[in-house]
């Protein structure tokens, strides 16, 4: 029967042993363990969340970079096309301009040549006239070396002038 009756002495020792164990563990044991475990749990959760966010961000960045590269490629193509166009245009322009200038130069050269030609013709005529005058003078001098020849000449000239004035008067 004594098995069923609680014993005060044993209760006392139980109080001491359980009490000490409880006190020490409640003060220095379990709270720090559970707190640390909870803290670590929170940390792990945070880290996982961060990793998830980073992953999403990375995916976004990747997408962005792809878009940027695509955009750049497009831009490059556009710029190249434009450059080719521009080049063609410039070339065409330059050709046109060059042909215009050369035409103009050609024209001025032609005009110059014409002018010079005319001037040359003129001076040649003058020369020829002066020369022919000289020659004529010389011939005339030779022809009019005698007195009779000079009188004939004067006569003839006078005739001529008088016919000329008559003609003028009649006219």
Partner 1 sequence: MRRFRYILLLLALMLSPQLIFAEEEKHEELNVQEIIFEHMLDSYSWHVTKIGEKDIVIYLPVILYSKTSGWHVFSSRRLHENGGSYEGFYPADQESAHAGKLMEKMADGTMVRPIDLSLTKMALALLINGALVLLLFLPAARWYRKHEDDREAVPGKYVSFVEMIVTLVEDSIVKPCVGKNYRKFSPYLLTAFFFIFTCNLMSLIPFFPGGVGVTANMSITLFLAACTFIAVNVFGSREYWKEIVWPDVPTWLKVPIPIMPFIEFIGIFTKPIALMIRLFANMLGGHMAMLVLTVLIFIGFSAGKVLGGSMTFLSVLFNIFMNALEVLVAFIQAYVFTLLSSVFIGSAQVEHHKKELKIDKE
Which residues of this chain interact with partner 1, rule CB under 8 A? 1-18, 20-22, 24-26, 28-34, 36-37, 39-40, 43
**Comparison of 17 and 81: residue with beta carbon closer to partner 1:** 17
**Comparison of 31 and 77: residue with beta carbon closer to partner 1:** 31
Q: Which of 58, 56, 77 is closest to 66 using CA atoms?
A: 58
| Minimum distance, C-beta of residue 69 to partner 1, in the bound complex (Å) | 38
**Comparison of 1 and 171: residue with beta carbon closer to partner 1:** 1
Concatenating the DSSP letter of every residue in 138-157 gives HHHHHHTTSHHHHHHHHHHH
Q: How many CA atoms lie within 13 A of 130 on its CB side?
A: 5
| Minimum distance, C-beta of residue 55 to partner 1, in the bound complex (Å) | 20
How would you label 71-100 residue by residue, b for 16+ Cβ within 10 Å and e otherwise? eeeeeeeeeeeeeeeeeeeeeeeeeeeeee
| Minimum distance, C-beta of residue 53 to partner 1, in the bound complex (Å) | 18
| Minimum distance, C-beta of residue 49 to partner 1, in the bound complex (Å) | 15
**Comparison of 44 and 94: residue with beta carbon closer to partner 1:** 44
């Amino acid at each position: 029967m004594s098995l069923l009756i609680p014993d005060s002495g044993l209760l006392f020792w139980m109080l001491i042993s359980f009490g000490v164990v409880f006190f020490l563990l409640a003060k220095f044991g379990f709270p720090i363990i559970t707190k640390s475990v909870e803290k670590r749990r929170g940390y792990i959760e945070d880290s996982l969340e961060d990793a998830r966010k980073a992953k999403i961000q990375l995916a976004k960045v990747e997408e962005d970079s792809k878009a940027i590269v695509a955009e750049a490629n497009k831009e490059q193509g556009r710029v190249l096309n434009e450059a080719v166009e521009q080049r063609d245009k410039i070339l065409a322009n330059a050709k046109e301009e060059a042909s215009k200038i050369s035409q103009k130069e050609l024209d001025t050269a032609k005009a110059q040549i014409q002018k010079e030609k005319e001037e040359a013709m003129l001076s040649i005529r003058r020369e020829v006239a002066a020369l022919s005058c000289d020659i004529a003078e010389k011939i005339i001098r030779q022809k009019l070396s005698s007195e009779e020849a000079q009188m004939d000449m004067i006569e003839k000239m006078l005739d001529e002038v008088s016919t000329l004035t008559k003609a003028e008067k009649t006219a």
